[in-house]
Amino acid sequence: MKKVTIYSTQTCHFCHMAKDFFKEKNIAFEDFDVGVDTVKRQEMVQKSGQMGVPVIIIDDQIIVGFNKPKIVELLGITE
């Protein structure tokens, strides 16, 4: 199973879409709310070079935004 991490905020529509997609596909993921966790926010920026959310990491592959085709490809699942 691939390791999935998402850096998100409570008010981010695309973050909710990504998490709903993972739940729908029974994909386990670790979620960090960078709106309140400044340490994880710094970690996200260091890894991705981005302040925008969501930042999704699948194993060692970084996706900025809810790029569903790329997520499906990296997870090896069907949409």
pLDDT given for residue 1 in this prediction: 82
Domains of the chain with bracketed CATH: 4-75 (3.40.30.10)
pLDDT given for residue 43 in this prediction: 98
- DSSP β-bridge partners for residue 30: 5
CA–CA gap between residue 49 and residue 11 (Å, rounded): 21
Residue ranges in the chain whose pLDDT is less than 70: none
For residue 32, give both structure tokens. Answer: 């960090």
CB-CB neighbours of 19 under 10 Å: 19
Is the preceding peptide bond at 69 cis, omega within 30 degrees of 0?
A: no
Q: Note the pLDDT tens digit of each residue in 48-64.
A: 999 999 999 999 999 99
**In sequence order, which residues have a C-beta less than 8 Å from that of residue 16 and are 6 or more positions away?**
8
pLDDT given for residue 3 in this prediction: 97
